[in-house]
Each structure stands twice: as C-alpha cells, then as structure tokens.
Structure 1
Amino acid sequence: MRTAESEMSADVKSRLLLLMPLLMKRRQTADMMGDFHRREAEIRRRRRKSRFRAYQQHSQRQILMCLMLKARALRCPPPKSLTHLKHCSFLKEFGPQDWFDRFRMSKDTFVYLCDHLRGRLHRPGLAPEEKVGIALWTLASHNRCPLLHMKFGVRRKVVKKCLKEVCQAVVTVLKPLYLYPPDHGVLRDKARIFKARWGFPHCVGALGTLHIPLPPRSKMDGECSLVLHAVVDGQGVLWDACAVFPGSMNNASILENSVVWELALGGRLQAAPEDAFLDEAQNYFLLGDATYPLKDWLLTPYTQDSRQSQSQAKFNLGLERARSVAEIALLRLRSRWQYLLDPPDYVFLPTLVLACCVLHNMCETHEQRFDPRWLEGVETGDSPCTFSHFCPSTPVDTRAEWVRSAVCRYFESQDNE
C-alpha cells in the first residue's frame, strides 16, 4: 500500500517538473505582453500630447494673425472721401484767406501736400489731413495758439507728436523734390535767371545764415542759437540748407564743413565750355559777405578803406544788391513759419528747420501768395545777438583775386556801354 502511494507522489512530482517550464514560459509571455501594452499606451499618450500641443500652437498662430490684421487695419488710412467728411471738417469750413492765415498755403496746395505725405503718416490715431493741419498751424504760429487745441480737440502732447511725424515725413518725401544741389543744366538756367533779376553775371546763388534761438533749458556749453546755413538762387529758392552748426561757429568754418564746399572742390560748379565767361570756362559764382573766404567760385566784397577804387566800390554795391536775395528769402522763411522765431523744444530742431526750408521751397515753387502782414514783429528781435565773425586771415588766392578783378572790370565795362 505504501509502495503504491509513493509511486503516485513520485508521478505527481515528475509531472509538476514537466509543467514548470511551460508555466515559466507562459509567465514570460504574459510579462512581454504587458510590456508591449504599456509601450503602446505610452505611444498613444505621447501622440495625444503632441496633437494637443500642435492644436495649441495653431490656435495661438490664428490669434496672433487676427491681432496683426486688426493692427494693420488700424494703421491703414480710411478712404479719402470718409476722411474728408468725418474727420477733416476744416477742409470745408475754412475760406481762402483762412487757409493762408492758418496754414500759409492754399487749399489745393494743402491737399497736394497731404497726398504726398499720406504714405508716411500711417500711425493710428488722427487722419493724415489732421496731422498735416496741426503741424502747419503750429509752424505758422509764433506763440502757442489755443485755437489749435479747440479746433482739433487734441492735447499738447499729441500736437508735438504730429509736428515731429509730419516734419520727418516732409524731409524724407519732399526734400529730394524741392531741396537738392542742381546739375550743370540747371546751373546754366539759374545763372541766367540770377543775371536777369539781380544783374550779377555767371552767378547761381548767394550764401546766407539765420540764427535760430535755442530754448533756455537746451542751452548747453554756452550756445544760445542754432545756425541755418543756406544757398539761395535768384528766385529766392534754397538749393542747399543745413542746420546743425552752433551759433558760436564762424561762417568760414561752417562753409568748409558744408555740402557746398564738397561740391565746389569736386568740380560740380564748373561751367561747360559753351557757357564761358571772361573768355574762358569759369566756375559758376556764389556770393558771400566779408565773413567768407575769397575763392574762384565764391566772391566776397573788397575791404572798405581809403585805398578802395571807384570800380571796387561799384563791385561791392552790385554784390550786396545781388546777395540781398538770400536775406529776403530767409526773411520770408521765418515770416511764413514763425515757429522758428522762438522754438520751445530742441529735441528735433534740426529736422524741423530743414522741413521748414522744404516747405518754403514748395510754397515758392507753387507761387503761393505771401502776405505782408506776416512780416509784423519779425524784422526786429527775430534772432539772438551774435558777434559778427570776420573771415580769419588766409593765404592769398591769386586765382580768386584775378577772377574778382575781372568781374570788377566787367561791371566797369558795362557802365561805360
């Protein structure tokens, strides 16, 4: 009996030993399947996460695009008809004289100016016509006018921003059209006009300076003014202007650091052979006072002393008469744009002065009427008192002396005829 039980237990143990590898293999297979399902679950989780991230990025891009389109719509100016009707009522309210009193130009010229500057006045806020109107009204006023704030309903800070934006646009857009050095063909025409109007031959311009006072809080290093150095043709139009020099700088030093000096040294003032003067091809002349050096392209007056001859006195008289075109042009400049008489800010004053020069040329070219009433209070007390710097002693230029003497003899021969 015991032998049968022992044989049975041995048989069970042998079967268990045979089943053990199969059980272990099934367990390994189950573990492998568990790892596979976990990896699949992890892959599906990562895919869901990446899809969610892509959806978020796409949503953010759509939101950003909507904001950009909205900002672009705000920057784009409204149609011209809507602008004139809704925002710029002064285009209909002002009469012809009001346009000259407030903006120093006619309505047609104002619209012409707005059309040229419209592409540069793209900041959101006021319409381009309103910005140009605010800037011109400010430039034409000597003192801060409360009517400007009442008319446009803006604060002083907005007026300053409009003035800066419009002046920068004028310099960028209109300066290449109205203020640039002439080429040889234009110089020939300017010489003819200058002689016909002012009686000085072979001359294309006169040098002039205007001292613009600096605000008290902007006076640094003892400087009280900013110098506008300009070249004016026979029609009173500026073909070169620069306003970056301090008032203590003499005219000779200003000229040597100007564009005119580079043009003369580069031969840009040389006349063509067919436009010969004094039996040879001369440089076209510029006229200056005694504060400038004598050059073969820049004529200055003879020194007034007891040794001065009668012909030299006639030359000085003719030169001063012709050079007065620069004084008249600068007088009209600061009379039209009276903001230059006492500018309250120096931050962008050079750009503002250059913009006034460009606007002056535009008005003169378009033959805008000049009201003599604008001269009231401008001729006296319009610039700070500055010491007249005479030209420092320089080596005698024999060529320049010969040219001046030849022009002096030319005037004498014209009187004899």
Structure 2
Amino acid sequence: MDQSFLIMLSNLLHLHNHLDPTNSLLSDTSSAAYSSDVSSPSSILTSTSAAPLLFFTLASVLSYLASNSPKKPSKSSSPSSSSKPPSEFSVAAFRALSTERIWAMEAPLRDVQWRSLYGLSYPVFTTVVDKLKPYITQSQLSLPSDYAVAMVLSRLSHGLSLKTLASRYALEPYLISKITNMVTRLLATKLYPEFIKIPVSRRRLVENTQGFQELTSLPNICGAVDSTPVKLHKLSPDVINGSMYYCKYGFPSILLQVVADSKKVFWDVCVKAPGGYDDSTHFRDSLLYNRLITGDIVWDKAINVRGQHVRPYIVGDWCFPLLSFLLTPFSYNRTGNPAQNAFDEALMKGRKTVEEAIGLLKGRWKILQDLNVGLNHAPQTIVACCVLHNLCQIAREPEPELWKEPEENGQPPHVLENEKGRPLPNEISAVDI
C-alpha cells in the first residue's frame, strides 16, 4: 500500500483518539476490529461521537484513491481515432488567412505565399473558386467550397498522396479522394470550354500566326503539337493489356497530346491512349484530327506562298505524319540539304514552344510527374492540370523551373499513303494502325 496513504490514515486515527479516547472502536489496540467494522454500517452507527469523524475519514480515503488512481485513456485519445486537424491546415486557419490576413500583406508576399501552398496566386485562386463554387454547392459538400478547392490544388501542385493529405487535413482518405475527383472533373468539363479553345476566329488566328512568325520567320503557323507520357504511380495487375501502358522510357503511363500557341497556352488537349501508343497513332485517334480531316474546322486565313494558297497549319516533330495542316521536318537529324536544314531549324523553334509548355505543366503541377490517382480518374486529372496551366499562363503567373523529359528516341511514324508528301527518314514504309 502507498506509504503516504498509511501516514494519512494513521494521523486521522490519532486525531480521533485525541478527541474521544474512550471509544474503543478506533483505539490503537483494536485496528483489526476497525478493519472489519468499517465495512459494517450498523457498527459505525453504534457511537454517535465516532460517526462524523468516520464519515470524514472514509470521504478522505475515497478522495485520495480517486485522485491517485491511474486514468484510462479515453476513446478520443486512442491512437486509432482521428486527431485534431493541425492548426495551419484547419478550416479556421484557412479562413483566417484567406479573409483576414491575406489583404494585410503586400501583394508580392501574398502571392508568393499562396503560390507556395496551392500552385497559383491568390487572385487566380479566387477566379477558380468563383467559377466552381456553384457546382460544388450543388453537391452539398460538408466543407466550404474554397477550402475544398485549396485542398485539391495543394495535392495537384505538390503531388501529395491521399494518405499524406488525409493526415494533414484530418479527413478520411475516401473523402479526400471524393473531393479530388469532383474538383478535377469540374475543371476538366465545366472550365475546359472556356480556357482551352481551338483558334477559329480571325483575331485569334492573326495573334497566333504573328506570334509564331516572330519566333520562326515562318508564316501562318497557328500551333505546335507534341505528346508526352504521364507516369502512373502504379498500374493495377488486373488491367487488360497492361503492357500497352509502358512507354518507350520503360514506365507505365498515359499519353497526353497537346497543341500550344506561341505563348505556351494549350488550345487542344487529348488524353485517349495508353503510354505505349506512338504519337502518330494517337494523333489520328484525336478529335482534332477528325475535325480537320473532315473539314469541320477550316482556318480561313490563307496566304500566298510562291503562287500557292497556304492555310494556317500546325507543326510537329518527325514522329507526326505530314499533312496539309501539319508540317514536320525533312529529317530528324538535320541530314538534308542546306535549304531543308534551314527550314527544319525554323520549324523546330516553333515546336519548342509546346515542349516548354509541357515542361511548365509538369513543373507547376507535380502530380503529373508521378500520377497517384486511380486509372479511371487519371485522364480527367491530367486535363484539369492543363486547364489550370492555361489559367496561370493567361494570368502571366511566374513560370516555374521546366520539367525535363528523358531524351527522346521516338517511334517510327505510321503514315498513310495519302499522307506521303516527301521521303520519310530512313525510308520507313507506310503502315497504318
């Protein structure tokens, strides 16, 4: 028994003997009788003088035991239960930053801080929230719209996993996944038509062709096309034809095809094929190709080049087919004559804009460097990042360090008979898939 408890009990007994020495119930020589009588209410009541002190004694003992007994951990403090959200990521902290402290900061400092958290400046962030808020409100999400958008942007810009984000925001992983899927779907569907548009108006065509002519000295270029594999974090073993997802660099991926203007803004995005597809096949499967080949899109800004009417066209590398609306280099390693090499060099300056646009895309939205979402939601996540990329480029957000792709070896282009306009590199035979 605890030594301090024994001392307290002894002092109480001595005090009682001093006050009522004639009472034999609590005398020093009858401690055994005390041990038995304390559990008997009838014997305690036999002495009127001892009753108050015994009651006080019992109350003191019970109070002491209660205050010194080890406390069992409550359910709320058990390791399995969710802990309180960290203050810097709670709704209250977000609200304080976004509505109270944000406008007290200098604009550059404000935007640097917001960009480090969510990948874009505060004014661009509010634009995204304002456009998505009506749709998020309809979903009856239990979280504020701006808080949900901020959470998803932090995942896209930093490439955070569900587990990490769930721990940071003190939410269940399934809820994080649900919110991510909802916001990326809205970006890829509701905001896509507004921020990713094929230039069909004469004003936009003139802007695009003039921008490329300043870069390349070639007339009437209205866009540059390229493809890039977006690495998948993992590929489920039950995926049918899983080997088709492995790109030429050796990792599982989905193929992203984009067309960019001279300002590195995408005006067409296509995500339709596994990473093992070649650029030419993916291009022929795209909606853009079908609309151009059928005449659904007609760029009505023809110029005269040595007696030939040349409509606006896009440029690509030697992996793409040569078409009336798509020009490619004469050779892939500058092995043509001086005039051909000069043309190739100018053309590749134009194509460099789309290379840099892809580098900015993956540098700004790091989730595309290792896409940790389910395969079913991968395409919409990629397209959502392309929409956000355009928002940042249009708003002239600072450009991050470019993401560098592995050295390209390229796949032989598959060219149809009616697409042959000049000899292909290494005299590759025409094959269509």
* Structures share fold, TM-score greater than 0.5: yes
Q: Give the conservation status (yes or no) of the 8 Å contact 1:194–1:235.
A: no
Deviations along 1:362-405, one digit per CA (max 9) or x if unpaired, are: 11111112233xx4xx4266xxx98721113543657x459xxx
With over 3 angstroms needed to count, the CA separation of the structure-2 counterparts of 1:380 and 1:314, relative to structure 1, is: closer
Residue in 1 aligned with 2:326?
A: 298
Deviations along 1:263-300, one digit per CA (max 9) or x if unpaired, are: 32233564436644444432212111111111121111
1:119 aligns with 2:143: no
1:379 aligns with 2:404: yes
C-alpha distance in 2 between matches for 1:173 and 1:229: 20
Residue in 1 aligned with 2:65?
A: none
C-alpha distance in 1 between matches for 2:131 and 2:219: 37
1:181 paired residue among 191, 194, 198: 198
Query: For residues 287-366 of structure 1, what are the structure 2 equivalents within 5 Å?
Result: 287-303=315-331, 308-345=336-373, 346-366=375-395
1:97 aligns with 2:112: yes
Q: How many residues are matched?
A: 312
| Structure 2 residue runs without a partner (length 5+) | 1-90, 103-109, 246-251, 424-433
Structure number with the higher helix fraction is 1
With over 3 angstroms needed to count, the CA separation of the structure-2 counterparts of 1:311 and 1:269, relative to structure 1, is: farther
TM-score by length of 1: 0.68
C-alpha distance in 1 between matches for 2:365 and 2:411: 27
Residue in 1 aligned with 2:410?
A: 388
C-alpha distance in 2 between matches for 1:236 and 1:216: 30
With over 3 angstroms needed to count, the CA separation of the structure-2 counterparts of 1:195 and 1:269, relative to structure 1, is: farther
C-alpha distance in 1 between matches for 2:185 and 2:269: 16
Matched letter for residue 359 of structure 2: L
For the aligned residue pairs, the C-alpha RMSD in angstroms reads 2.9
Residue in 1 aligned with 2:279?
A: 251
Matched letter for residue 344 of structure 1: N
Q: Give the conservation status (yes or no) of the 8 Å contact 1:271–1:282.
A: no
Q: How much does 1:207 deviate?
A: 0.8
Q: Give the conservation status (yes or no) of the 8 Å contact 1:247–1:386.
A: no
Matched letter for residue 379 of structure 1: K
TM-score by length of 2: 0.65
Deviations along 1:35-79, one digit per CA (max 9) or x if unpaired, are: xxxxxxxxxxxxxxxxxxxxxxxxxxxxxxxxxxxxxxxxxxxxx
C-alpha distance in 2 between matches for 1:171 and 1:305: 37
1:208 aligns with 2:233: no
Q: How much does 1:171 deviate?
A: 1.9
C-alpha distance in 2 between matches for 1:215 and 1:246: 14
Query: For residues 233-252 of structure 1, what are the structure 2 equivalents within 5 Å?
Result: 233-252=261-280
Q: Give the conservation status (yes or no) of the 8 Å contact 2:154–2:160.
A: no
Q: Give the conservation status (yes or no) of the 8 Å contact 1:88–1:129.
A: no
Q: Secondary structure at the match of 1:281?
A: strand
Residue in 2 aligned with 1:109?
A: 124
Residue in 1 aligned with 2:56?
A: none
C-alpha distance in 2 between matches for 1:349 and 1:306: 37
With over 3 angstroms needed to count, the CA separation of the structure-2 counterparts of 1:141 and 1:176, relative to structure 1, is: same
Deviations along 1:133-161, one digit per CA (max 9) or x if unpaired, are: 00100000134398855664323322211
Deviations along 1:105-150, one digit per CA (max 9) or x if unpaired, are: 1111111111110011022310000110001000001343988556
C-alpha distance in 1 between matches for 2:416 and 2:395: 42
Matched letter for residue 125 of structure 2: F
With over 3 angstroms needed to count, the CA separation of the structure-2 counterparts of 1:217 and 1:307, relative to structure 1, is: closer
**Higher Cα Rg, which structure:** 1
With over 3 angstroms needed to count, the CA separation of the structure-2 counterparts of 1:210 and 1:127, relative to structure 1, is: same
Query: For residues 160-171 of structure 1, what are the structure 2 equivalents within 5 Å?
Result: 160-171=177-188
| Structure 1 residue runs without a partner (length 5+) | 1-83, 403-417
Q: Give the conservation status (yes or no) of the 8 Å contact 2:302–2:312.
A: no
Shifted more, 311-320 versus 260-269: the winner is 260-269
Q: How much does 1:197 deviate?
A: 3.2
Percent identity of paired positions between Structure 1 and Structure 2: 21
With over 3 angstroms needed to count, the CA separation of the structure-2 counterparts of 1:130 and 1:393, relative to structure 1, is: closer
C-alpha distance in 2 between matches for 1:338 and 1:306: 34
Q: How much does 1:189 deviate?
A: 2.4
With over 3 angstroms needed to count, the CA separation of the structure-2 counterparts of 1:305 and 1:147, relative to structure 1, is: closer
1:130 aligns with 2:124: no
Shifted more, 303-312 versus 237-246: the winner is 303-312
Q: Give the conservation status (yes or no) of the 8 Å contact 2:158–2:366.
A: yes
Q: Give the conservation status (yes or no) of the 8 Å contact 1:287–1:323.
A: yes
Q: Give the conservation status (yes or no) of the 8 Å contact 2:161–2:372.
A: no
With over 3 angstroms needed to count, the CA separation of the structure-2 counterparts of 1:307 and 1:85, relative to structure 1, is: closer
